[in-house]
Amino acid sequence: MAERVLMKGNEAIAEAAIRAGCRHYFGYPITPQTEIAAYMAKKMPKIGGVFLQAESEVASINMVYGAAAAGMRVMTSSSSPGISLKAEGLSYIAGSDVPALVVNVQRGGPGLGGIQPSQSDYFQATKGGGHGDYRMIVLAPASVQEMASLTIKGFNLADKYLMTAMILADGTIGQMMEPISFEDAQIETYEKPWALTGTNGERKHNIVNSLYLKPDELEVKNFERYERYKTVEEKEAMWEEYMMEDAEYCVVAFGIASRVAKNAVVAARAEGIKVGLIRPITLWPFPTKPLAAAAEKVKSFISVELNMGQMIEDIRLATGCKKPVSLCNRCGGMIPSPDEVLAAIRKAQKGE
């Protein structure tokens, strides 16, 4: 058996980032993700890396932009209100086609909200957040092991497709400890022709910018970018299916909500209700394929979320509104109990 260590989800992200070759971390503290910065502050100086607590979230995302433009594997992390502050930088990074990893360990919102776990930044992560036409790869870990493996995956994908990968976690997965192993970590490296390696008097200056004043040029840039996004959509969707073979009802949930939902699915099966679970691991690209397939055979979907039902729109799009989607949710930092989800499954079975 692989060697297992107990780690907090936030620490797992930081350790995985270091193993993935990240040597530049810029951040600003906010609960419930501060352990990431604390871990980086302790480790980075020992391995010749940079840990910098910036004067604000805006400064830290622009430092990420700068390091990415220099060709470094770079990251920042924050929680909901802090990510809103970073939105401008996210858009600039997208407009400059440089890779970065951004972690959002979500807390309840809107506004300053609270500090308890939430999934209410789904729209912000998957539909934009910053201005302009752009996408981010959004990865939703449901365990401490995935906090690590998806961080590594995120760096790989960001470099491969020249875009931002976001880890969309929540306070629970950030704060909890579970055993993890780094044995299967697959770290990929990609050529970065724009990296600052010295011109040697030969290479031309490389300018990284998101400013295109000629509309035809800006249009071409956007078209090119969306060609890349298309490839991501075709190739990179990830999901887990659980007890879906004979399912008549399908629970859809990601992150911590999927863990609670799994308990409820097991309990419902014990009552003879044929229910399964589809857990999106990438929220963008959204796993449309398994949902479209499920829509052909299940009677209805139940979306379990820690928000007011933001993912329902994507479920409806993926399934062409073929089957009804009901919502089982808590928000503001509250988490549904397995019993609440079980009740929602029973209701779906009764067609309510």
Of 304 and 348, the one with the shorter C-beta distance to another protein is: 304
Of 11 and 314, the one with the shorter C-beta distance to another protein is: 11
What SS3 class is residue 35? helix
Measured distance CA(203)–CA(97) in Å, rounded:
20
Q: Are residues 38 and 133 in contact, defined by beta-carbon separation less than 8 angstroms? A: no
Of 175 and 206, the one with the shorter C-beta distance to another protein is: 175
Q: Tell me how crowded residue 50 is: count the other CB atoms within 10 A of its CB.
A: 16
Q: Are residues 143 and 4 in contact, defined by beta-carbon separation less than 8 angstroms? A: no
- DSSP letter at 132 equals S
Give the β-pairing of 164-170 and 100-106: parallel
Of 4 and 235, the one with the shorter C-beta distance to another protein is: 4
What are the DSSP calls for 40-82, one per residue?
HHHHGGGGT-EEEE-SSHHHHHHHHHHHHHTT--EEEEE-HHH
To another protein, the closest distance from the beta carbon of 337 in angstroms equals 5
Place of tokens 């309510």: 352
To another protein, the closest distance from the beta carbon of 119 in angstroms equals 15
Read off the tokens for 230: 């298309």
To another protein, the closest distance from the beta carbon of 297 in angstroms equals 25
To another protein, the closest distance from the beta carbon of 173 in angstroms equals 8
To another protein, the closest distance from the beta carbon of 30 in angstroms equals 13
Read off the tokens for 296: 């052909």
To another protein, the closest distance from the beta carbon of 264 in angstroms equals 9
Of 49 and 338, the one with the shorter C-beta distance to another protein is: 338
Closest CA to 153 of 177, 135, 137: 137
Of 32 and 99, the one with the shorter C-beta distance to another protein is: 32
Residues that bind another protein (CB under 8 A): 1, 4, 6, 31-32, 115-116, 171-172, 175-179, 256, 259-260, 262-263, 266, 335, 337-339
Round the CA-based radius of gyration of the chain to a whole number and report it: 20
To another protein, the closest distance from the beta carbon of 12 in angstroms equals 13
- Interacting residues of 121 by C-beta distance below 8 A, sequence separation 6+: 80, 83, 104, 106, 109, 168
Of 99 and 113, the one with the shorter C-beta distance to another protein is: 113
Measured distance CA(291)–CA(278) in Å, rounded:
8
Of 318 and 335, the one with the shorter C-beta distance to another protein is: 335
To another protein, the closest distance from the beta carbon of 116 in angstroms equals 7
Closest CA to 328 of 336, 319, 320: 336
Of 189 and 337, the one with the shorter C-beta distance to another protein is: 337
To another protein, the closest distance from the beta carbon of 151 in angstroms equals 19
Beta bridge partners of 240: 279
Backbone angles phi, psi at 197, to 5 degrees: -125, 10
Give the β-pairing of 239-242 and 100-106: unpaired
